[in-house]
Amino acid sequence: MQPELDPHPLRSKGFRLTPQRLAILNVLQEADCHLSPVEIFQRAEERLPGLTEATVYRTLDFLTDQGLALVAHLGSGHLVYETARHEHHHLVCRTCGQTAQIDHAVLETLYAQFQSSTGFEIDTSHVVFFGHCPACLKEMKSKVESGRS
């Protein structure tokens, strides 16, 4: 009889699945939004009393390096994290801060063009685009138009 293979990606890469890593991964997987490191610390510390913020920051860096967490700068001046369940990107409104997700498939052709034209191998699949959402654009246009009257 063969031993059971551990299905967890960290163990399959030869890394230990520590209680700290597991608590932080669980927080990320259960969240349906982006979380700041402080929010992750607060949620993980409920599960694992004694956890330190420094450990959370180190673990988030490690999980990001291993492709299990995504980090993004969504314009707030701070980094936010989420689980790397599916490849996607973000659109962020510079005016109201609204965010929208776009599936990675929309950019696959662009990634391939970058790689073939430059020879540069792109190793990240999380990009944030900044602009203005339709509601803010409409408001901006109406202000311009009312200024002309």
**Do both 2 and 15 map to the same domain?**
yes
**Do both 60 and 116 map to the same domain?**
no
**Do both 77 and 144 map to the same domain?**
no
Which pLDDT score, from 0 to 100, does residue 57 have?
A: 95
* The two structure tokens encoding residue 120: 């540069």
Strands 79-83 and 69-73: antiparallel
Nearest alpha-carbon partner for 82 in 99, 106, 97, 96: 99
Which pLDDT score, from 0 to 100, does residue 135 have?
A: 94
Q: Which residue has the higher pLDDT, 82 or 1?
A: 82
Domain total of the chain: 2
pLDDT (tens digit per residue) in 109-137: 888 898 899 998 877 667 888 899 999 99
Nearest alpha-carbon partner for 25 in 101, 89, 85, 86: 85
Q: Are the CB atoms for 10 and 66 separated by under 8 Å? A: yes
pLDDT (tens digit per residue) in 54-110: 999 999 999 988 888 888 877 667 788 888 777 778 888 889 888 888 888 888 888
Which pLDDT score, from 0 to 100, does residue 5 have?
A: 39
Is the pLDDT at 4 greater than 50? The verdict is: no
How confident is the prediction for the chain on average, in pLDDT? Answer: 85
Q: Are the CB atoms for 81 and 70 separated by under 8 Å? A: yes
Among 85, 118, 141, the domain-final residue is 85
Domain range for 15 is: 1-85
